[in-house]
Amino acid sequence: MNTPFRLDDHKRWSQPLAPPPDRYFEQLPTRVMARVQPTEATGLAGTWGWLQQLSAPVRTALASAVVLGGFATSFWLTQPGAPTTSAATAALATVPQAEMVQYLLASDQRVTLTDLAELSEAPSDMSEAYLQASPAELQDALDSQPSDEAYF
């Protein structure tokens, strides 16, 4: 048979705790604050101390200027016409277009739509130079393509 459990049998103290000293809780905040070191004792006071000397509106304006400057710099650096170009892009720009087209037509690799989508600008007269088909041939090629009536 199990013996019944009584909490009173397992207490550590048989007497209640002693009351705190007089005015202990009134003096506690001032005693704690006296032990806290001032902020000048840390290393941040020398580095960022000048920022605390500024008024709140000036600090707000300074923070706004820093954020706006960071945004403008990141926007300027990500523009397509940014002043920095890679050496590979510069070397590729020196290759004549006729040689590029000849290489693409002669190689076994197929050019996909994603490859063509990476072109930034295509010259408008490129189709006239490399596409030599009569209007009748173009119309026959377009007519031979299957069309779905749902798109009309």
Residue 152 predicted with pLDDT over 60: no
**What's the pLDDT tens digit per position in 98-130?**
888 788 777 777 777 677 666 566 556 666 666
Chain-centre distance for alpha carbon 79: 16
State how far the Cα of 152 lies from the Cα of 149, in Å rounded to an integer.
Answer: 5
CB 120 within 8 A of CB 80: yes
Q: Which residue type occupies 130? A: Y
**What's the sign of the alpha-carbon dihedral 46, 48, 54, 56?**
negative
pLDDT in tens, 66-77: 999 999 999 988
pLDDT value of position 151:
61
> How many residues belong to the chain?
152
